[in-house]
Amino acid sequence: MNPKPLHLESRCIHGGQRPDPTTGAVMPPIYTSSTFIQESPGVHKGFEYSRSHNVTRFALERCLANLESTGLTEEEDRTQGGFAFASGLAAIATCLELLDAGQTVMCMDDVYGGTNRLLQRVRQRSQGLKVVFVDMSDTAALERAAQACKPQMIWAETPTNPTLKVVDIDAVARVGRAHGAITVVDNTFASPILQRPLECGIDIVMHSTTKYLGGHSDVIGGCLVTSRRDLAEKLRFMQNAIGSVMGPFDAYLTLRGAKTLAIRMKQHCESAQKIAQWLTTQPAVKTVVYPGLASHPQHALAARQMRMNGVPAFGGMITIHLHGGIAESRKFLERVHLFALAESLGGVESLIEHPAIMTHASVPTAEREALGIMDSLVRLSVGIENTEDLIADLAQAFA
Ligand code: P1T
């Protein structure tokens, strides 16, 4: 009889983990050795060189595979379809190497500025990739664009950075299958606690583990996760051949962070919902964008797709449009104290930033404006401090 599968809170802590076989250590040790001894050429304990094989990284990779529900066994793939990289962008760059020169990527129009930059300013030139940006929150537009451009890869991000558009993950999987395209979802904003795209038939999930998975703003990393054996084999080859792997210290910190992911996400969601509602009452705020508000254009989809233990939960990111322009935005951002004015997101501490000047400066101005990333737009990453303290901080900055 199969034991009952564990809930996500338990999988954060135990998923893919086991005591160290040599010592019984409950937490995987940080294996710093760059190389491993061989009894005879090619005869070893399964570990040759740390770019290819690292015990600490493998422990994190199995945890990520478990959280994203790959369902692969270790016999099918050594880390069950999980692959960790030096940064989120290193993970994206490696994933794009699945494509041949000249092939087409259909990409969500609103994505992290660095994703846009890698596609438009690097891979279009160096790999000859054709990049087609589409607003996939409109499923009909997604279908039409796929029909027209016949992509080999579909790259979705949901909710998007920074305008928090929500893309129907089931629809992306369906369109990808119909066109034989590899589907990828950047799941950074939701985390595997709120949505697990592989369960919807997506081929690859990508994360900047710098964000919610690490959770403490003290480590940069990224990952790719797949439940397809053929893609796991290709990604394992690419990870080693390209070499932008996550180091053992970073893998240790990320694994440690991931253990509290579920409990942190619960608080991020609760606090962000309260703060988003409060923001709608503030005269300085023109609009509040949060998937948990009924006013969000894809609220119903978000309520179906983003869930924690079966209950709708909408994440910790809020975007607001202030009245006025850059002067008003600057004044507000200079006045907050508890919210730190800084790039990044997903940590225990609250962060706030100005995408047009900070995280999305690399997106060409015309595209940025078409997406609504204006001088009046401010992005909040709600941490897990006391919610009243956070509201008080915003209130004094508006005053
Ligand atoms: O920063 P890095 O670990 O390389 O991850 C890149 C990345 C990929 N995908 C999404 C959705 C992201 O948000 C990021 C990084 N984002 C920020 C640094 C930011 O402040 O938005």
Q: What domains can be seen in the chain, in order of their start residue? A: 8-258 (3.40.640.10), 263-398 (3.90.1150.10)
Q: How confident is the model at residue 3 (pLDDT cuts 50, 70, 90)?
A: low
**Protein residue closest via CA to atom 13 of ligand 1:** 112
Would residue 211 show up in a list of annotated catalytic residues for this protein?
yes
Q: How confident is the model at residue 19 (pLDDT cuts 50, 70, 90)?
A: very high
For residues 15-24, average pLDDT: 93
Q: Which atom of ligand 1 is nearest to the CA of 343?
A: 20
**Protein residue closest via CA to atom 12 of ligand 1:** 112
Q: Find the catalytic residue in 62, 123, 165, 211.
A: 211
- Spacing, Cα 23 to ligand 1 middle (Å): 37
| Burial classification of residue 371, based on how many CB atoms lie within 10 Å of its CB (0-12 exposed, 13-18 middle, 19 or more buried) | buried
Give the up-direction half-sphere exposure of residue 385: CA atoms within 13 A in the CB hemisphere.
17
Would residue 186 show up in a list of annotated catalytic residues for this protein?
yes
Q: What is the pLDDT of residues 42-83, one digit of tens each?
A: 999 999 999 999 999 999 999 999 999 999 999 999 999 999
Give the strand order in the sheet containing 104-108: 82-85, 222-226, 204-208, 182-186, 153-157, 104-108, 130-134
Mean pLDDT for the chain overall: 97
- Spacing, Cα 208 to ligand 1 middle (Å): 6
Q: How confident is the model at residue 159 (pLDDT cuts 50, 70, 90)?
A: very high
Q: Residues near ligand 1 with C-beta < 6 Å?
A: 87-89, 112, 114-115, 157, 161, 186, 188-189, 208, 210, 220, 222, 343-345, 359
For residues 95-119, average pLDDT: 97
Which one of 92, 117, 208 would you pick to mutate in the ligand 1 pocket, going by the greatest count of ligand atoms within 8 A of its CB? 208
Would residue 49 show up in a list of annotated catalytic residues for this protein?
no
Q: Find the catalytic residue in 109, 110, 168, 186.
A: 186
- Spacing, Cα 158 to ligand 1 middle (Å): 13
Question: CB of 315 within 8 A of CB of 159?
Answer: yes
**Protein residue closest via CA to atom 17 of ligand 1:** 344
Would residue 331 show up in a list of annotated catalytic residues for this protein?
no
Global pTM reads: 0.98
The residue among 3 and 396 whose pLDDT is bigger is 396
Phi, psi (degrees; rounded to nearest 5) at 225: -140, 135
- Spacing, Cα 112 to ligand 1 middle (Å): 6
Q: What is the pLDDT of residues 332-381, one digit of tens each?
A: 999 999 999 999 999 999 999 999 999 999 999 999 999 999 999 999 99
Show the tokens assigned to 378: 């401010």
Q: Find the catalytic residue in 51, 130, 228, 330.
A: 51
Give the strand order in the sheet containing 285-289: 285-289, 317-322, 377-381, 351-353, 340-341
Portion of the chain with pLDDT greater than 90, in percent: 98
Q: Find the catalytic residue in 31, 112, 212, 290.
A: 112
